[in-house]
Amino acid sequence: MASSIFAAVPRAPPVAVFKLTADFREDGDARKVNLGVGAYRTDEGQPWVLPVVRKVERLIADDSGLNHEYLPILGLPDFRAHASRIALGDDSAAIAESRVGGVQSLGGTGALRIGAEFLRRWYNGNNNTTTPVYVSTPTWENHNSVFLDAGFKDIRSYHYWDAAKRGLDLPGLLDDMEKAPEFSIFILHACAHNPTGTDPTPDQWKQIAAVMKRRSLFPFFDSAYQGFASGSLDKDAWAVRYFVSEGFELFCAQSFSKNFGLYNERVGNLTVVGKDADNVQRVLSQMEKIVRTTWSNPPSQGARIVATTLGSPQLFAEWKDNVKTMADRVLLMRSELRSRLESLGTPGTWNHITDQIGMFSFTGLNPKQVEYMIKEKHIYLMASGRINMCGLTTKNLDYVAKSIHEAVTKIQ
Amino acid sequence: SSWWSHVEMGPPDPILGVTEAFKRDTNSKKMNLGVGAYRDDNGKPYVLNCVRKAEAMIASKKMDKEYLPIAGLADFTRASAELALGENSEAFKSGRYVTVQGISGTGSLRIGANFLQRFFKASRDVYLPKPSWGNHTPIFRDAGLQLQAYRYYDPKTCSLDFTGAMEDISKIPEKSIILLHACAHNPTGVDPRQEQWKEMASVVKKRNLLVYFDMAYQGFASGDINRDAWAVRHFIEQGINIVLSQSYAKNMGLYGERAGAFTVICSDAEEAKRVESQLKILIRPMYSNPPLNGARIASLILNTPELRKEWLVEVKGMADRIIGMRSQLVSNLKKEGSSHNWQHITDQIGMFCFTGLKPEQVERLTKEFSIYMTKDGRISVAGVASGNVGYLAHAIHQVTK
């Protein structure tokens, strides 16, 4: 038989965060802790299906009038409308002016990809693959791949994390924006920056918006943690809404994986804000073409759960309560970890643990210290020093704090 | 001014247009024969009993919602491969395959197209049958490949132009990609007979073509899952390492749940692992990992003996109803006094039927009888019921006599 056409296909490296979880699973040590992949865990270290989700699933299962027919290409209309409303606010002028559209997508990733494909085809000319796309340093590692696979050739980074002061490098960020070619696309984390947990303050966002407006830069928000970051939907959407109020046309890739705990149902929405209704309609018609060759139409189950929840005042209130439960537990773990490290006298400053927001914290641990944590202490975290606060529980806080203390004092 | 001033309005989807017009029509006798989804004899969507049972089982287990692996639900992908290849397949038993979960048929096709674009450097050309499913062309094009065609449908006979197909396929440059519909060709309903498949396999092998099977109707075409997968299995047995896209939209009625799979038959298990790793690299920047619901339902059905048995009965039931409607349509046309040869309606198989009607005749059907179909004369037999097959026959006779 002729040699295989795939004989030369190289073995690709595994995606780091999933490899981490795989290694964690194989670890037989009783003390092991998984501070890797970004999913919420209860204080018992268990996944948590939101009570409101269980309730709504029951409602859906009992509704004999429902079937499994195809959704429209752009998704469930109620879901899209509710999702965009959640991002932009009930009082959104843009929504009232009919210049907002939504594309139901497979998670936040799917929304990013559809948006990226659209921009590559229609932004800054036609099929302009050379438009620079800027991602923060560091950023969620999949951002690069999404835009590369969508056809963009020039992915650049903008300054973001200041390792020395463990905070936002605003001067560096603004400088990069001043120097970026006109019309460059900037991926902005709407809140709870992944992986640093460091967000601009409202005042800093205002400065960012001013430069972007002057330089005609395109804002593409990644909003994966609305509600989950501060516990308040409105607070976590402040940046997106500010940009809209400043007259920007923008994209916002929304994920309901974390704030609804619907990870494996792949529920996301690409919110499109345009100058007027006519522009948005034409944009959506082209989004349909892109969706049709990617997945044809999106999955039904998750969108139904979200739409049903957001469409009922009572269920909506329950959901907000569930979200606050998650956000509050994370805030508690942050303050508990910080106070332990300070009590132990661990070298360095640890206020960044509570200054940072959302699921993740950039601890500041270097790769050698991370390796020590994994190999010696069986505590799994990313090589960048990123930890998932959700992996902490009242039972393992002491062990994790002591281990960080050891790593920092023993390894430099 | 807007960034989007120059963005053109996308052309309207032809099939969607049919449904929109149908919805607006107030004639009580109206028929929607554009719909690409199964309908029962009352014209209603049909949720399979085995699906309802699987859903109840899933609900009672109160499982979590954690991310699936990038390649999807393992129980589902394994069962999917076994369903396509057959449990006795050497390729399946040896593990020299990789199957990843895809977003129904479209998503699986697209993953495959992207994979070939990245790793199949021998050719950029994909050969489609003439005609093919309308979405095949933009899928492969968006993946960065080029489209070519081979003769397939003979409009004079409303059946397979086998001579033309063989002539064209024999001339396809070596190492090109050829797409084949495993069964229930969409949109024509015209499938090769087994002897014809054997000849095609032989030519394809001689030309050293990469074979891409699209199987969206396994079980739904003849009512027999093994019979419908015969071509796929034959090609593999002939030593052709195919790639394959599967959909559970029709055969399990899971349309909106997006259950599908993409498979690569490899030289050995080691190669399969390498190929899998690269498929994951493609999937992650598309949507990270696939949706669970549909795959879990399908997996439970395929892997639970009682449910699987029930499914086989139900999918045969759907296929039989379609086959029954085909023969009723023909007998009604005869009763109307039509002198035309309508044999192709019963020769063709699957959801769709290329009636042979011309655009002017289709337009008359719509305007005078409120019967809606696509301009190419394609009807979805799933939209025909015992309550309206007589009306349909009458209308067709009126516009063709």
pLDDT band of residue A3 (cuts 50, 70, 90) is low
Mean pLDDT over B256-264 rounds to: 98
Please give the Cα distance from B364 to B397 (Å, whole number): 11
Nearest to B277 among A11, A145, A297 (CB): A11
Identify the DSSP state of B256: G
Between strands B159-160 and B153-154, the pairing is antiparallel
Q: Is A64 on the interface with B (CB under 8 A)?
A: no
Structural domain boundaries in chain A: 16-49+327-410, 77-311
Q: For each of the domains in chain B, give its residue range(s) and CATH number, in order of start.
A: 14-46+320-399 (3.90.1150.10), 67-303 (3.40.640.10)
**Alpha helices per DSSP H over B154-213:** 162-171, 194-206
3-state DSSP call for residue A93? helix
What are the tens digits of pLDDT across the range A347-395?
Answer: 999 999 999 999 999 998 999 999 999 999 999 999 999 999 999 999 9
Q: Is A129 on the interface with B (CB under 8 A)?
A: no
pLDDT band of residue A8 (cuts 50, 70, 90) is confident
Identify the DSSP state of B122: T
Residue in the block written with tokens 């998670």: A107
Between strands B371-372 and B177-181, the pairing is unpaired
What are the tens digits of pLDDT across the range A73-103?
Answer: 999 999 999 999 999 999 999 999 999 999 9
DSSP B308-341: HHHHHHHHHHHHHHHHHHHHHHHHHHHHHT--S-
Please state whether B157 falls in left (phi above 0), alpha (psi between -120 and 50) or beta.
Answer: alpha
Are B287 and A106 an interchain contact pair (Cβ–Cβ within 8 Å)? Answer: yes
Query: B232 to chain A, minimum CA–CA distance in Å?
Result: 19
B177 CB neighbours in chain A (<8 A) are: none
Give pTM, 2 decimals.
0.96
Mean pLDDT over B254-260 rounds to: 97
User: Can you give the length of chain B in residues?
Assistant: 401
What are the tens digits of pLDDT across the range B60-95?
Answer: 898 999 999 999 999 999 999 999 999 999 999 999
Q: Quick check: A113 pLDDT over 50?
A: yes
Q: Is A298 on the interface with B (CB under 8 A)?
A: yes
Residue A271 bridge partners (DSSP): A102, A252
Q: What does the radius of gyration of chain A's CA atoms come to, in whole angstroms?
A: 22
Nearest to B266 among A6, A14, A299 (CB): A6
Of the candidates B390, B275, B262, the residue with the CA atom closest to the CA atom of residue B328? B390
Between strands B378-380 and B371-372, the pairing is unpaired
Please give the Cα distance from B318 to A33 (Å, whole number): 51
The pLDDT of residue A266:
98
The pLDDT of residue A16:
82
Please give the Cα distance from A315 to A55 (Å, whole number): 9
For residue A105, give every residue at least 6 positions away whose Cβ sits within 8 Å of its Cβ, in sequence order, or none.
A75, A111, A113, A114, A253, A268, A269, A270, A298, B287
The pLDDT of residue A190:
98
3-state DSSP call for residue B177? strand
Q: Is A63 on the interface with B (CB under 8 A)?
A: no
Structure tokens at A337: 């970890």
Percent of chain A with pLDDT strictly greater than 90: 90
> What is the interface pTM, i.e. ipTM, of the complex?
0.95
Q: Report the Cα–Cα distance between both ends of chain A, in Å, rounded.
A: 56
Cβ atoms < 10 Å from Cβ of B208: 15
State how far Cα B170 lies from the chain centre: 25
What CATH number has the domain spanning A77-311?
3.40.640.10
B175 CB neighbours in chain A (<8 A) are: 5
pLDDT band of residue A22 (cuts 50, 70, 90) is confident
The pLDDT of residue A1:
45
Q: Quick check: A148 pLDDT over 90?
A: yes
Cβ atoms < 10 Å from Cβ of A93: 12
* Residue of chain B minimizing CA distance to A62: B56
Superfamily designation of domain A16-49+327-410: Aspartate Aminotransferase, domain 1 (3.90.1150.10)
Whether B133 is catalytic: yes
Of the candidates A272, A392, A274, the residue with the CA atom closest to the CA atom of residue A332? A392
What are the tens digits of pLDDT across the range B366-378?
Answer: 999 999 999 999 9
Residue in the block written with tokens 């199957």: B99
Of the candidates B401, B387, B399, B396, the residue with the CA atom closest to the CA atom of residue B345? B396
Mean pLDDT score of chain A, rounded to an integer?
95
Mean pLDDT over A221-239 rounds to: 96
Q: Which residue has the higher pLDDT, A164 or A132?
A: A132
> Quick one: how many helices (H) and strands (E) in chain A?
16, 13
Mean pLDDT over B276-285 rounds to: 96
User: Can you give the length of chain A in residues?
Assistant: 412
The two domains A16-49+327-410 and A77-311 share their CATH topology (first three levels equal): no
pLDDT band of residue A164 (cuts 50, 70, 90) is confident
Between strands B177-181 and B31-32, the pairing is unpaired
Annotated catalytic residue: which of B214, B228, B311, B342? B214
How distant, in Å, are the alpha carbons of A217, B89, B250 from that of B82?
51, 8, 18
The pLDDT of residue A4:
72
Question: Angle between the A300-310 and A313-344 helix axes, to the nearest 10 degrees?
Answer: 100
Contact B102, B111 (CB under 8 A): yes
Please give the Cα distance from B319 to B312 (Å, whole number): 11
